[in-house]
Amino acid sequence: MTPLQPTPASPLTAAHPKTLVVAINPAAAFGASRTVGMRVVAALEEKGHHVTALIADDFAQLRVETEHALRGALGGSDTSATWTVPDALVVVGGDGMVSLGTALVACTRISLGIIPCGTGNDLARGLGLPLRDVSAAIEVLCSALETGPRVIDAVTMTSRDVSADASGDVALTVASKRWFAGVLSAGFDAAVNERANLLRYPRGRSRYVIALLIELVRLTPREYTIQLDGVELVTKAVLVSVGNNVSIGGGMRVTPNALLDDGLLDVLVVTPLSRLAFLRIFPRVFAGTHLTDGRVTVHRARHVRIASEGVVAYADGERVGELPVDTEVQPGALRVLAP
């Protein structure tokens, strides 16, 4: 990766030029949006903003470099007088990039800008950002840089990572704390995501269709223990989701009444049903009308703990690991450049 150094302000300087870090994932949407990142950088520079652009095909390296670029605001050791804390981190890509950005700027004064060009774009959808018009998304971003950020909730999640010690004999359990802003999945939808990641072929959306069909054949209710603000619920279910946002998977409105700034999480539980019944309900998720089915329940809470044997959770499309996982909403933790 080669960071592009900040450029001097142009004659078209915005009323309030900002210092920005732009992190670009050229592999978003399976490489279909490779040119978007530099369009964003060029547009921001033309407005007179000071831009440092970071680009890499390796997601892990991109995260390291982005964290390094933000280190002044993240409590890093660089105290140089020439160091300027960025006003915003702008991520170019899909929900994976939004996840990266949320993890780095939650509970800081740095705003998060999003140029959606991935396969899901669910947080961008929930924020009302333009999804298929890069120019419009850039205009919204530039406008928000002038008017100021919108404040929304974010969610901390704590899981247990199990690994061997140096000898390889003793299992060690280490608490891992991370952030998400959208939806955590811990049921059928997470199983589909896990299966899709294991498939080497095909690429693109069809991979998720195949994964869905495979997991549908394997559909089996699991027993869950769910704690909602300390109140325990033990139930069998095929789908459990914790939503700060409305949708997953590019528009599946699993928690259609969730609000990004109400200080609460919507917890969706779908109790056991046959494969045929599941196929009847599943298409209704895209319209959010599945809540009228008697086997679908939504609870609301600030702190949610989900436990189930052998179930893997995903949050904002990123693998969290096996349950149990604790989630807690953090009101007003994230500043986003959105309407």
Summarised one tens digit per residue, pLDDT across range 70-118 is: 975 555 555 444 557 899 999 999 888 999 999 999 999 999 999 999 8
Residue 196: its H or E element: helix 188-198
> What is the C-alpha separation between 223 and 194, in angstroms, rounded?
19
**pLDDT exceeds cutoff 90 at 146:** yes
The answer, yes or no, to whether residue 290 has pLDDT greater than 90, is yes
Encode burial over 153-188: b for 16+ CB neighbours within 10 A, e otherwise.
bbbbbebeeeeeeeeeeeeeeeeeebbbbbbbbbbb
Which segment of 51-55, 74-78, 155-159, 252-256 scores lowest on mean pLDDT?
74-78
Q: What is the largest CA-CA distance in the chain?
A: 65
- Looking at per-residue pLDDT, the higher value among 197 and 64 belongs to 64
Among the ranges 37-41, 266-270, 281-285, 316-320, which has the highest mean pLDDT value? 266-270
pLDDT tens for 294-328 read: 999 999 999 999 999 999 999 998 899 999 999 99
Per-residue pLDDT at 203: 64
The pLDDT of residue 10: 43
The answer to whether 93 and 102 are in contact (CB under 8 A) is no
Residue 83 corresponds to which amino acid? W
Q: Give me the pLDDT at residue 172, please.
A: 47
Using CA atoms, how far apart are residues 185 and 100, in angstroms rounded to an integer? 18
Please tell me whether the peptide bond between 283 and the residue prior to it is cis, using omega within 30 degrees of 0.
no
- Fold entry, domain 157-333: Tumour Suppressor Smad4 (2.60.200)
Q: Which fold has domain 19-148?
A: Rossmann fold (3.40.50)
Please give the DSSP secondary-structure letter assigned to residue 9.
P
Q: Could you tell me the CA-to-CA distances from 335 to 89, 101, 144, 151, 181 in Å, in that order?
A: 10, 11, 11, 5, 11
pLDDT of residue 51: 95
- Whether 280 has a pLDDT exceeding 60, the answer reads yes
Q: What is the percent of the chain with per-residue pLDDT over 70, rounded to a whole number?
A: 85
Per-residue pLDDT of 124-143, as tens digits, reads 999 999 998 999 999 999 99
Mean pLDDT in residue range 157-186:
72
| Inter-residue contact 114 to 124 (CB < 8 Å) | yes
State the span(s) of the chain assigned CATH 2.60.200.40: 157-333
Handedness of CA 223, 225, 228, 233 (dihedral sign): positive
pLDDT value for 133: 94
Partners of 269 in the β-ladder: 240, 297
Provide CATH 3.40.50.10330 ranges for the chain. 19-148
Band (pLDDT 50/70/90 cuts) for residue 177 is confident
Given a cut of 60, whether residue 267 has pLDDT beyond it is yes
Q: What's residue 161's pLDDT?
A: 59
Please check the confidence at residue 246 and state whether its pLDDT lies above 80.
Answer: yes
Q: How confident is the model at residue 180 (pLDDT cuts 50, 70, 90)?
A: very high
Q: What is the pLDDT averaged over residues 24-28?
A: 77
174 has a pLDDT exceeding 70: no
Tokens of 147: 């008017």
pLDDT bucket at 29, cuts 50 / 70 / 90? low
Stronger pLDDT, 242 or 203, i.e. the higher one:
242
Strands (E), 64-180: 88-93, 111-116, 150-164, 171-180
- Average pLDDT across the chain, whole number: 86
Question: For the chain, first and last CA: distance in Å?
Answer: 32
